Amino acid sequence: MCKSARTFVSVLLSVACGLFCVPMLGYGGYLLVCWVRIHTSNVYYVAYPYATVGLAFVAVGLLSLWATLYGAWRRSFYGLLFVVPVFLGLAALINIPDVLPHDFSGTADTNYLSAVKSFFGVWYENNHRFPADESEFGEALWKGPSAWQYRVGPAPASRYMQRGNPLPYQIVVVKNATGPRIIDVSHRPGVVYYCVSADLQEFWVTMTRLQSDLAVTASLNPFANFTTEEKYWIIHAAGHDYPTRKQLGPDISGRH
């Protein structure tokens, strides 16, 4: 093979296999940019080891790039070095969507809202009404006698942070409500709006959250072309949705 042909093949192999390095270098670079923004501005962000993971992806991406260039231009190991970028690149394409920072906050938010609907059923069964204020909201969700009886692990916690400070879920109670709070909401992520009707027989819960890994403001409505409850991620229930525990009177039969 003439020199020009070998050069063409080397360039072609470099470009083809080098493309498999892009996901790792791109994702690693993105995380490092996020880390810089987190430490130089007041953005809200999802708790995540941005610098550590970013440097790891960049390092692996550079290793893959070295294997590509060395294999293409030095023709080392009869081309076996090309396995490295191809394998790592495909692995990155498969796994990166599962390790995005935003997925961690989404999971925590989903667990929190799921707990609200589940444990408020327990509260209603025992009290024949929904919580009336913030104190009862917390009691129903985390301190109820049966709320965590069958649950393993700690209560869901917010994954949001700002300037290195964690932002726990903040409860805002709206009494005498006739619907959910979907306007005039906080720009802070993790603010939970608990709207309860005047008779305490119906409630709506919405939550502000980030629509990306970091942002200057949170919002309620990331979706379009959905129903109102789906669009604003509304948790809604009425008393008739839950069974009511019957009050048992004293045993007068003499049986024990």
pLDDT along the chain (256 residues), means of 10: 57 62 90 96 95 93 79 60 71 79 89 88 89 90 54 68 94 95 93 96 94 91 66 87 55 41
pLDDT at position 249 is 42
Rounded to whole angstroms, how far apart are CA atoms 74 and 82? 12
- The predicted pLDDT at position 141 comes to 78
Q: What are phi and psi of 219, to 5 degrees?
A: -155, 175
* pLDDT for the residue 216: 94
pLDDT on residue 188: 95
Looking at residue 243, what is its pLDDT? Answer: 66
pLDDT score recorded for residue 3: 60
DSSP string, the chain: --HHHHHHHHHHHHHHHHGGGHHHHHHHHHHHHHHHHHHHS--EEE---HHHHHHHHHHHHHHHHHHHHHHHHH-GGGGGGGHHHHHHHHHHHHHGGGS-HHHHHHHHHHHHHHHHHHHHHHHHHHHSS---SHHHHHIIIII-TTTTTT--SPPP---EEETTEE---EEEEE-S-SS---SS--SSTTEEEEEE-TTSSEEEEEE-B-SSSEES--BS----SS-HHHHTT-EEEEGGGS--PPPP----SS--
The pLDDT assigned to 61 comes to 87
**What is the pLDDT at residue 33?**
96
What's the confidence (pLDDT) of residue 204?
A: 96
Determine the residue type at 175. K
pLDDT for 84: 72
pLDDT given for residue 47 in this prediction? 95
